[in-house]
């Protein structure tokens, strides 16, 4: 029987990478929008907004994905290092480790001769023994994700969603349309993007959709307001 929460799917566009798409996208939209808001608060020209927006998009998207890569790799390495330590301990501190298995199974409710038989079976196979120590003593689960794939998905999503707050500015520059209300258009576009990504977030977390949207809008809104006022206040100081 299939469990409702079984691990499913593979490939870059399966549900497996939806969390990376969501968190990369949220961060991309929020940081780019914050740059646009800060620059607007400081009354900067449109070309400057676009320059800084793109510089931020590329640099921050790169730094976030590579940071994500190192962090996933570090979590894999930590797991393997602990596993190697357990192997070493089984070889060199055998009695201590046997006692630890006994203690783990005593806590599960085993006792007497049955406990000894269980300890005997577990400690007769090194892989099972180490696996038990990892799960029961260290409470560590192996991180199954690929560092390359999560980092790649984060980068794609960061660029794709992070470009949205800049769309209105780029459009106005290319087609030489009116530059009035550009910030308003950017707010609306970014708001729509955040509603979509908030919906995806609620799917990822299996939560209420309105809550996902509200959380994301709140987060982006506060970041943008902070950025706008820091820009405006500092610009006032320098005048």
Q: Are 25 and 49 in contact (CB under 8 A)?
A: no
Rounded Cα distance between 150 and 153, Å, is: 5
Q: In 44-181, where does DSSP find H-type helix? A: 46-92, 94-107, 112-122, 126-132, 147-162, 167-174
- Selected from 60, 160, 189, 217, the binder of its own copies by CB under 8 A is 60
- Selected from 11, 92, 141, 176, the binder of its own copies by CB under 8 A is 141
- How many residues bind its own copies (CB under 8 A)? The answer is 84
- Interaction between residue 50 and its own copies (CB under 8 A): yes
Q: What DSSP string runs through 126-161?
A: HHHHHHHIIIIIS------S-HHHHHHHHHHHHHHH
Q: Are 52 and 40 in contact (CB under 8 A)?
A: no
Residues 78-97, interacting with its own copies (CB under 8 A):
78, 81-82, 85, 89, 93, 96
- Interaction between residue 23 and its own copies (CB under 8 A): yes
Residues 102-131, interacting with its own copies (CB under 8 A):
108-110, 114, 117-118, 121-122, 124-125, 128
Q: How far is the CB of 177 from its own copies (least distance, A)?
A: 17
Q: How far is the CB of 75 from its own copies (least distance, A)?
A: 9
Residues 192-221, interacting with its own copies (CB under 8 A):
204-207, 215, 219-220
- Interaction between residue 11 and its own copies (CB under 8 A): no
Q: Which is nearer to its own copies, 14 or 120 (CB)?
A: 120
- Selected from 16, 17, 27, 154, the binder of its own copies by CB under 8 A is 27
Overall residue count recorded for the chain in this entry: 239
- Interaction between residue 238 and its own copies (CB under 8 A): yes
Question: How big is the chain by its Cα radius of gyration, in Å?
Answer: 26
Q: How far is the CB of 225 from its own copies (least distance, A)?
A: 9
For 15-27, b where at least 16 C-beta lie within 10 A, e where not — what string? Answer: ebbbbbbbbbbbb
- Interaction between residue 170 and its own copies (CB under 8 A): no
Q: How far is the CB of 149 from its own copies (least distance, A)?
A: 18
Counting other chains too, the contacts that 171-174 makes at CB distance below 8 Å and 24 or more residues apart are 172/46, 173/46, 173/47, 173/50
Structure tokens at 162: 């992070």
- Selected from 17, 37, 153, 162, the binder of its own copies by CB under 8 A is 37
Any residues with CB less than 8 A from the CB of 187 and at least 6 apart, and which? Answer: 224
Q: How far is the CB of 83 from its own copies (least distance, A)?
A: 10
- Interaction between residue 136 and its own copies (CB under 8 A): yes
Structure tokens at 192: 């729509």
């Amino acid at each position: 029987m299939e469990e409702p929460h079984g691990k499913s799917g593979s490939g870059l566009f399966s549900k497996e990478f939806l969390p990376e798409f969501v968190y990369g996208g949220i961060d991309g939209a929020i940081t780019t929008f914050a740059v646009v808001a800060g620059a607007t608060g400081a009354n900067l020209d449109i070309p400057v907004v676009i320059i800084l927006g793109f510089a931020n998009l590329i640099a921050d998207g790169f730094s976030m994905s590579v940071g994500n890569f190192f962090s996933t790799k570090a979590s894999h390495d930590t797991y393997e290092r602990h596993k190697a330590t357990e192997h070493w301990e089984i070889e060199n501190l055998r009695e201590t480790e046997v006692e630890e298995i006994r203690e783990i199974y005593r806590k599960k409710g085993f006792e007497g001769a049955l406990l000894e038989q269980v300890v005997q079976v577990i400690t007769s196979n090194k892989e099972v023994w180490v696996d038990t120590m990892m799960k029961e003593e260290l409470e560590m689960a192996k991180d199954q994700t690929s560092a390359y794939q999560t980092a790649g998905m984060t980068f794609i999503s960061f660029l794709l969603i992070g470009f949205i707050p800049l769309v209105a500015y780029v459009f106005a520059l290319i087609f030489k349309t009116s530059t009035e209300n550009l910030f308003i258009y950017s707010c609306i576009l970014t708001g729509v993007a955040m509603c979509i990504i908030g919906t995806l977030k609620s799917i990822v977390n299996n939560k209420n959709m309105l809550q996902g949207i509200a959380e994301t809008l709140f987060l982006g809104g506060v970041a943008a307001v902070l950025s706008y006022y820091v820009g405006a206040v500092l610009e006032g100081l320098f005048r």
